[in-house]
Copies of this chain bind each other. A is one copy, B any other.
Amino acid sequence: MPTFGTPADFQQAIAELRTLFPADRISTDPDVLHVHGFSLNTYHPGAPHSVVISVEGTEEVSSIVKVASKWKMPITAYSGGTSLEGGFAAHPQGGICVDLSGMDQIIKINEADSDLVCQAGARWDDINETLREKGIPLFFPLDPAPGATIGGMIATGCSGTNAVRYGTAKAEWFLNVTVVLPSGEIIKTRRRARKSSAGFDTTKLFIGAEGTLGIVTEATIRLAPLLPTNVAVAQFPDVRKATEAVGEILNKGVPIQCVELCDDVFMHATNNYGISTRKYPERDSLFFKFQGSPETIAESARVVDEVVRAHGGSGFELAKSEKEAADLWADRKAALFSGLALVPESKGWSTDVCVPVSRLPDLVYETKKDLEESGLVSTIVGHVGDGNFHSLILFKADKELEAVRGAVHRMVERAIRLDGTCTGEHAVGIGKKEYLYEELGTGTVELMKLIKRTIDPLGIFNPGKVVAYPVRLERLQFSDTPDICSFIQMTVQHSLVVKSIPEE
């Protein structure tokens, strides 16, 4: 178990940091500390940081890491503040919050190579807006919630509605990342070629690591051609029919950019809240976004309409204008707001499980039944092409929170039982840590812990997130033979002696 510095040590660290940063970029104001430690819509235990520092460059992050190491003070990166699993919550003992939200610049656009270098605090929607303003017909296709930053997207291994076409943050959208390691050292994981087989994939090491192995400060991101799109909605007899239609559409290779499953409750909530003027049939529905030339979209729509009908669906029709398409998509994208409006003055807990696509109907049915039996109201919206769905479980009083927590727990257990994952795109943070052993097996989690311990031996980088620390040392028995040849083998010997250390 890592031993952090004492409160007095932390005060010394803060005093040192005050000598390094101007007063207007380092704060211990309780309101500032609170805002940087708690995200909206999160019901996990949280804590305020001890100090928040707004950074302007990679070297500054490195200088903070050196102070944090010296005083053994936790250090957590913050940028967009949109995490749903407590990813940037402070450690209960406090720590340093490195606020990268001001590092939001695009450093260089390489249009001919369809890539772009930017700082970690840049928001994906701002990047796409900048490209649009400059008339560059490219975009960055990872689309989590608006406001998410490149750094946070890397940290969570995010995706979004475009993943069915473009894959996730774990695909090849990040050509390289610049990272400050727990040693304070600054590395750049790769050069700018689109592909490379030069050694271990250290870029990927930081994607999904939630700032526990290093703090990403810059990235080179791939861009995709910005294509015309159009939108259509269709209704289905049930979720299974809708899912089967999607399976067939995908296996036919129809070039769709998105396909989103919205359940009957979601459609009711949308009619209730509605951005567009359309009143939808309140049935399980699919929202499609097509991409390509008008000819390609027309042909895709023809194929999809056929498949929809073959699976008992109806009502499929392409939007007739750009405005109509934008309005329909806005109805889908307003999930949080239309959901919350369903129960006045409610709060919502957003879930995020993912299973093989063919198992999605079972997961949705069992979940809906469970929620109903628990007396909970929820909308469901799914990235059905990926087998990923979010339910927004509504509640008003804190006394309902335990019922919500129980339902979320059962949903995760169900997803894992169906060969799925506790988190499709929101990461582990605090909220999903308890499920890793069950989902991945002891060996895989212990491998993660071994990597964590090796790269961050003091355990100060976003402690308590992703994996508990330290590794259970009894798993480090590499050999039956004693070996005293070198320091390396010596550490193995130690691990043979120390059989177990309690988990954090």
Contact = CB atoms under 8 A, between A and B. Distances in A.
Interface in A127-175: 137-138, 156-159, 163, 167-168, 170-172
Contact of A187 (B171, B352, B441): B441
A426 B198 CA distance: 9
A500 B450 CA distance: 23
Q: Which of A137, A296, A459, A490 has the most CB of B within 10 A?
A: A296
B72 A192 contact: no
A488 B470 contact: yes
Interface in A421-438: 421-428, 432, 435-436
Contact of A171 (B167, B188, B450): B167
A356 B170 contact: no
Q: Which of A199, A291, A420, A480 has the most CB of B within 10 A?
A: A199
Given A200-B448, A447-B455, A481-B70, A487 B475 contact: no
Given A167-B172, A168-B172, A457-B489, A197 B450 contact: no
A466 B200 CA distance: 8
A58 interface: no
A272 interface: no
Interface in A213-229: 213, 224-227
A448 B295 CA distance: 48
Contacts of A66: 480
Contacts of A207: 201
A440 B495 CA distance: 32
Contact of A425 (B167, B197, B295, B485): B197
Interface string A445-489: 101101111110111000000110010010111111101011111
Interface string A216-258: 0000000011110000000000000000000100111101000
B488 A196 contact: no
20 contacts: A3-B485, A66-B480, A69-B479, A110-B358, A113-B247, A137-B251, A171-B171, A181-B443, A189-B440, A193-B354, A195-B388, A197-B424, A200-B209, A205-B205, A205-B451, A224-B253, A227-B253, A295-B299, A457-B492, A458-B478
A204 to B, nearest CB: 4
A196 B113 contact: no
A194 B253 contact: no
